Chain A
Amino acid sequence: MHLRVKALESVLVEKGFVDPAALDAVIELYAEKVGPKNGAQVVARAWTDPAFRARLLEDATSAVAELGFTGSQGEHVVAVENTETLHNLVVCTLCSCYPWPLLGLPPVWYKSNAYRSRAVIDPRGVLKEFGVELGEQTEIRVWDSTAEVRYLVIPQRPAGTQALDEAQLATRVTRNGMIGTALL
């Protein structure tokens, strides 16, 4: 496979369609810099700043841009909030659409056929495999991310965290929590 990629890259570079330095910059950005810490910052801000939370639920793309989180595959983000009676779960049934600027690149299981095909049909069963058991009274809403709309789950703020500040709260937010496959 590496020869096929090498062939693609060398032809595209030769024809001037891509710049090798820009390729390196892209790899560095996504391998090292962009990750779920960004999304965690957004969630912590939403928990501590009601005005920000309102803006986030109204227009997440603009709200996360306030924190500097813009870029490829973050062009249109929608935030969905978990409550006592509603749990949100995100999948991309077609491929692997995911809000890169907020969560980095998706984990292996998110891209798997198993998750993509089962999350919609049997969300409760899938959540159980993640160790998440929700009461019957909790509604589960499954959101299918697409190239046009990518979803970020705002998990419920954990109990007993009233004394924590925004930065401390951010450390409590997990990547899976923001996909909906974990509770905090």
Chain B
Amino acid sequence: MPEFPATPFGAPERPPFAEPWQAQAFALAVQLHAQGAFTWPEWSQALGAALAAGGDDADYYDCWVAALERLASERGLASAGVLGDRKQAWADAYRRTPHGKPVEL
């Protein structure tokens, strides 16, 4: 049985973002919308589709990122290929950067 805990206003709440990347992904969507890359109805369709595809166990922000990637690709902002290569470049950069140094491409 899922839990719906009621959080009284003023009581300590869970912060809106559990990890920094969630906040970054959130802000990217808000910014792209502000730039006119998509409308909110288009966004909600994309997010809804990602959530539906993810099923019951889907992580909300994983779906958020999937929706962002799909729209970025569909709108010609960043293709899946470019994003895949860039992700690999960052992974390599993290591996080769010594601890304590800023990670750069």
Question: Residues on A close to B: CB < 8 A?
Answer: 1-12, 15, 17-19, 22-24, 26-27, 30-31, 36-37, 40, 72-73, 75, 92, 94-97, 104-105, 107-109, 111-115, 126, 129-131, 146-148, 171, 173-177, 181-182
Contact = CB atoms under 8 A, between A and B. Distances in A.
Given A105-B16, A109-B5, A182-B6, A148 B33 contact: no
Contacts, number: 172
A133 B55 CA distance: 30
Contacts of A113: 51, 55-56, 58
Contact of A73 (B1, B40, B51, B61): B40
Nearest to B84: A7
A112 B58 CA distance: 9
Contact of B77 (A2, A15, A109): A15
B interface, by DSSP: helix, strand, loop or mixed?
Answer: helix
Contact of B61 (A1, A3, A23): A1
Contacts of A174: 6-9
Given A3-B87, A23-B31, A108-B14, 20 more contacts: A2-B19, A5-B28, A7-B87, A10-B86, A12-B78, A15-B78, A22-B34, A36-B9, A95-B44, A95-B51, A104-B16, A105-B26, A107-B14, A111-B60, A113-B55, A113-B58, A147-B39, A147-B45, A181-B6, A182-B6
A10 to B, nearest CB: 6
